[in-house]
Every structure is written in structure tokens, then in C-alpha cells.
Amino acid sequence: MLLATAGAVILVALALRPKPVEVEAARAIKGPLQVTVDEDGETRAHDRFALAAPIAGRLSRIEFHEGDEVGAETILATISPLPLDAREIAEIRARIQSAEARTREAEEEVARWESDHAQAGRDLNRARQLAKDRIIAQQEVELSAPLEIGSSSADDVVGGLCRGDAGGGTPSEGVWGTPQLARTRSELYNSF
């Protein structure tokens, strides 16, 4: 019985013994060693760009996908503006009427300045002729000369109209936006 017990223990030990691991055997040689790391990674964008639009509307389908290259002038999407309601239409019409009124006011001011400038030129010519004929003193000619050249206060008013300060406008709503006013403005400044 002792022999049978010893044989059973040996059989159990052989059955529970770990199986040998299979390996590949090769001859060791010298050569380059290439080390790689195969892991999952996470990337982050270096620069973030936020896109915004100055109007409200419906954004069309964007045909680009993450990682697509775009150039400086590439159109990314199109926004279709929302229909205007009655309040917005009235507001836009009021802004247009206000701009037209400021334009008319500026045109009248320019016409007045041109008239004043022409009159000052005539007065100066008359004073020079009178001084030449020795009817008036040279001092009176010198006093009327600054009127012909133009005063800085007139230039300040023209600058104010150009910036939109006159008439309660904002700087972006200057009254010199029309070609006729720009032409009149250049004629006015060139005449000084």
C-alpha cells in the first residue's frame, strides 16, 4: 500500500507539473536594434480658432471634416439671414432716413462754406485793389487775408462732419460716404 500511495503521489505530481513554455531558438548576431512604443495617445490642437458671425441666421451644412486643411480665403460655411420682423425693418428704414438727413445737412453746410469762401475771396481781392489805389490802409488788407485762407474752426467742423460728430451720428456713420460729398469735400479743401 505504501508503494501504491507513493505511485499515486508521483502521478499526481507529474499531472500538476507546469508545462514547459515553447520558445524560438536562434543564433545570436550583431545588428541594429529598433525600439518602438505601441500605445494609444491623445493629441491636442496647439492653436484654437473660434468662428463667429456678425449676423444671426441659418448655417448651411459644413462640408469639412476634422483634420481637413483650409486656406486663408476658404469659405467654411454660408449663413442665410433670418427674415426680418417689422421692428427690424422699421429700425433699418429709420437709420436710412437719418443718414440721408445727415447727408443733406452736410451738403447744405458745404454749400454755405463754399459761398463764405467765395465771398471772402472777393472781399480780399476788393481790399487789395483798394489798398493798391491807396483808398484803405494795408492793415485792413492784412486783417481780411485770414478769412480767404480759411480758419481752423471751419476745418474742425468739416472734420467733425467727416467723423460723424455733427448731427448726432456715430463715427462709423460719417456723412461723407457718398461720392458726391467726397468730391465736394475735396473741392472745398483744394480751394484753401
166-177: per-residue pLDDT in tens?
A: 444 433 334 445
Look at residues 11, 184, 34, 190 and name the one whose alpha carbon lies nearest to residue 110. 184
Which pLDDT tens digit goes with each residue over 74-112? 888 888 878 878 888 888 888 899 889 999 999 999 999
d(CA 161, CA 167): 8
**Cell numbers placing 157:** 467742423
What pLDDT is stored for residue 182 in this prediction? 52
Residues 6+ apart with CB under 8 A from 174: 161, 162, 163, 164
- Segment 125-129 mean pLDDT: 87
Judged against a pLDDT cut of 60, whether residue 24 lies above it is answered with yes
- Segment 13-21 mean pLDDT: 82
d(CA 12, CA 17): 8
Q: Which amino acid is at 3?
A: L
Residues 7, 11, 16, CA angle at the centre, nearest 5°? 150
Residues 148, 154, 157, CA angle at the centre, nearest 5°? 165
* Backbone dihedral region for residue 150 (phi beyond 0: left; psi -120 to 50: alpha; all else: beta): left
Q: Residue 186 to residues 6, 101, 149, 182, 189: CA-CA distances in angstroms?
A: 122, 21, 16, 6, 5
- The secondary element (H helix, E strand) that includes residue 59 is strand 57-59
What pLDDT is stored for residue 104 in this prediction? 93
Judged against a pLDDT cut of 80, whether residue 141 lies above it is answered with no
Percent of the chain with pLDDT over 90: 8
Residues 6+ apart with CB under 8 A from 104: none
Residues shown for the chain: 192
Judged against a pLDDT cut of 70, whether residue 2 lies above it is answered with yes
Question: Is 0.85 surpassed by the pTM of this model?
Answer: no
Alpha helices in 77-175 (DSSP H): 86-132, 138-149, 152-163
User: How many Cβ atoms sit within 10 Å of the Cβ of residue 188?
Assistant: 19
Q: Which amino acid is at 87?
A: R
- Segment 60-83 mean pLDDT: 83
